[in-house]
Amino acid sequence: MALVLGVDSSTQSTKVEMRDADTGELVGSGRASHPATFPPRSEQDPESWREALVEARRRAGSHAVVAMAIAAQQHGLVALDDRAQVIRPAKLWNDTESADDAQWLVEQLGGPEPWVEACGSVPVASFTISKLSWLHRCEPENFDRLARVLLPHDWLTFRMSGRFTTDRGDASGTGYWSPAEERWRTDLLEVVDDTKDWDACLPEVLGPTEVVRERESAVIAPGTGDNMAAALGVALEPGQVAMSIGTSGTVFTVSDKPTADPKGYVAGFADATGRFLPLACTLNAMRAIDTFARLLQVDLTRFDQLALAAEPGAGGLVLLPYLDGERTPNLPDATGTIGGLRSDVTPEQIARAAVEGVVCGLLDALEALRVGGVAVRPADGIVLLGGGARLHAIQRVLADLAHSPVIVPRGERVATGACVQAAAVLQQTPPDEVAVAWDLGTGSSIEPDEDVDARAVRSAYAELRDRYYATS
C-alpha cells in the first residue's frame, strides 16, 4: 500500500493525515497545537509550525509515505533575510495592524477597481501586500533585510525541500499575483517600495501536479492554501457552496472563470486545480464561539447543548460577533455588540445568540458572493467544514437559517485535500479527478426545519448590523 501524507497547518494547530494513494482510505492521523494568538497583533514563530508538524506526524504513526503536500493558513507574511533566516515572527492573516496600510494601498491605485482588475481582489489587512507595507512603514530596518517573501505553506515546504516555491491558489491571496494573467504583479509591490528587487524575493509558482523535490524517497508536492485544500478535500464542484468555520469563517465555491468583484467583498482567488475559488471571509467564527464558551465557563460539548436547548431567536438576544474586527464587511477596528439583553437572559440564550450571530455573518458572506456575480447553488446543499462543523447547534442553525440542507463530511478536509494533491503529483493525475475517485463529496446531511422563522432571526441580526455600520 502506497501512502501519502497531507498536512493542515492552521492558525491553532497542525493536523496530518496518511491515506492510501489509490483509494483514499485513512490509515493514520495526528494533531499538535500552535501558540495562541490575540489580534489585533497576531504573530507566530514559524519554527513552532515545523515543530508541530513533526509532533503531529509522530502521532500519526511510523508508516513510510511516498508523497506529501502541505496546506496552511492563507495570507500572512514570513520574511526571510539573504541567509534564508526568519527575520521576525510571522504576521498571520488575522493580524489587523496593517489595516491602515491596506487602505493606503487602495488609495494609491485610485480605489478598489484597479486592484480588482490587477489581481482579482482588493487589499485588506489579511493580505500579504498589506503586511509588507506595514513592515516597510513600522520596521524599516527589518524591511531592508528582506530578501525572501513567503507564505506559511511556502515556508514549511521550503523547510522540507530547500526550494522556494508556492502554488497558484495560495499565491492568489497575496495581493500581487493575478489569477486572470497567471503571473506575479511586481508592479503592485512597487507601490510599497520601488527600490526592492521583488523578482528575486518571490517564490516560483508551480502547477497543480509539478514536483518540488524528492526527499527520502518521498515526492514533495507544491502545497496550497487551506481553503484551496478544503475544496479538494470535499471534491467541490462549480457552484456548490462550501462554508468553513474555523478561527475565521469562509464561504467559497469553485468557478471555471476568474472573479472580479468591483466592490471588493469577494476575493477572486485561484484554486489548486487550475480553476478559480471566489471566496468571502469573516474574521470571527469559532473564535467567537470559544469566547462565549469561556464566558459561560463551559466546554464546547456543554456549549453545544446549551445552544440547542434555546428557542430560535434566542429570546430576542442578538450578537454581532465582530470581536476582533471584521473583514466582511471590512471593519478592522470593529468590536462585538449585543442587542436585546434583558435581566432574565439565560445561558442557553447566550449560547444560541452566539451561534446565530456567527451563522448570520457567514450567510452575509454568502450573499456577498451572489452580489459579486458568483454563481452559487446553496439550495443543493451547503458543505460545512472546519472545527465548527462538529457542533450540532451550528449544523442545525445553518440549515434552518439558510433554508438549505447542510452536508457534513467526515475527517479533516484540509489535510485530506493535501493528501489528494500529494496523490495527484505522485500519479501525475489532475487533483480534482483524484478527489472524485476517492468519493470525498459525501457526508451526513441535516435538513432544514421549515417551522423555524428564519426571516425573523436574520432580520433582527441585520437591524443590529446596519445600526452598527451606520455609526462606525
The confidence score (pLDDT) of residue 227 equals 94
Region at 245 (left for phi over 0; alpha for psi -120 to 50; beta for the rest): beta
Task: Mark whether 243 and 201 lie in a shared domain.
Answer: no
pLDDT in tens, 440-472: 988 899 999 999 999 999 999 999 999 998 887
Same domain, 249 and 215: no
pLDDT score for 328 = 80
Q: Within 13 A of 61's CA, how many CA atoms are on the CB side?
A: 13
Q: Tell me, what amino acid is at 436?
A: V
Query: What's the CA dihedral at 359, 364, 366, 372 to 10 degrees?
Result: -170
- Please identify every stretch of the chain with a pLDDT value under 70, giving residue numbers as ranges: none
Q: State whether 312 and 202 are in the same domain.
A: no
Q: Which residues have C-beta within 8 Å of that of residue 237, sequence separation ≥ 6?
A: 254, 441
Q: Which three cell numbers stand for residue 361?
A: 455573518
What pLDDT was estimated at residue 384? 97
In a domain, 177, yes or no: yes
Are 182 and 260 part of one and the same domain? no
CA-to-CA distance for 162 and 156, rounded, in angstroms?
A: 10
**DSSP code at position 204:** E
Last residue of a domain, one of 164, 192, 226: 226
Residues 87 and 153 in one domain: yes
Q: Report which of 276, 243, 238 is spatially closest to residue 258, judged by C-alpha positions.
A: 276
Q: CA nearest 56: which of 78, 31, 82, 75?
A: 31
One-letter amino acid for residue 338 of the chain: I
What's the pLDDT at 353?
98
Which pLDDT score, from 0 to 100, does residue 265 have? Answer: 87
pLDDT at 410: 85
CB atoms under 10 Å from CB of 215, counted, come to: 12
- Count: domains in the chain: 2
Query: Domain ends where: 226, 257, 276?
Result: 226
Strands (E) across 10-66 are located at 13-20, 26-33, 43-44
Tell me which of 8, 95, 154, 226 is the catalytic residue.
Answer: 226
Are 222 and 367 in a shared domain? no
Q: Residue type for 116, please? A: V
Give residue 10's pLDDT.
94
100 is catalytic: no
State the pLDDT at residue 326. 87
**Residue 215 belongs to some domain of the structure:** yes
Classify residue 426: in a domain, yes or no. no
What lies within 8 Å, CB to CB, of 216 at 6+ separation is none
What range defines the domain where residue 66 resides?
3-226
Dihedral, CA of residue 296, residue 298, residue 300 and residue 303, to nearest 10: -50
Q: What is the CATH number of the domain that holds 35?
A: 3.30.420.40
